[in-house]
Amino acid sequence: MQLVIDSNEYIFALGVVRYPNCEKLLAKVAESMEVIPIRITRLIIEEVRSNLTAEAFKEFILFINTATIIDNDFDIPFELGARYEARGLKSADALIAAYVEWTGADVLVTENRHFLSRQANLPFKILTAGQCIKFLNK
């Protein structure tokens, strides 16, 4: 099962203000990266960067490099993003939804209510960190 972890999960797991479920999810992903592969796009990386110190961000990149490769935003087909925008997502959120579909990931993990309220007819699940931990433990 492949995951895309949204920037807010990284921020809430590693930033100054932390949430236990987000921390647990990242710890689980680190421990199980062979069986729970993650994908990440540059926009998520950049959003995390704006919430970490320079030194912490360097460590974050080293962490990501042990787990996955970083995809470029402009590789994501424009039409996919436009389709999600037409469904009412903001353009940057639409890009992330398109990215999840494009990578064929099974789950987008996010705490963003705008995503969580748009679950219907999607080719992937949208789960919070807490829901994702339960799902992975099944």
Which residues form the interface with other proteins (CB under 8 A)?
Answer: 7-8, 11-12, 14-17, 19, 26-27, 30-31, 33-34, 43, 46-47, 50-53, 55-56, 59-60, 62-63, 65-69, 73-74, 90-93, 95-96, 111-113
CB-wise, 92 or 123, nearer to other proteins? 92
Picking from 130, 109, 137, the residue whose alpha carbon sits closest to that of residue 20 is: 130
- Least distance to other proteins, CB of residue 109, Å: 13
- Least distance to other proteins, CB of residue 102, Å: 16
Picking from 41, 12, 16, 2, the residue whose alpha carbon sits closest to that of residue 129 is: 12
CB-wise, 68 or 125, nearer to other proteins? 68
Tokens of 48: 């995390």
Please answer whether residues 88 and 94 qualify as being in contact, where contact means their C-beta atoms are separated by less than 8 angstroms. no
Picking from 133, 114, 138, the residue whose alpha carbon sits closest to that of residue 23 is: 133
CB-wise, 47 or 106, nearer to other proteins? 47
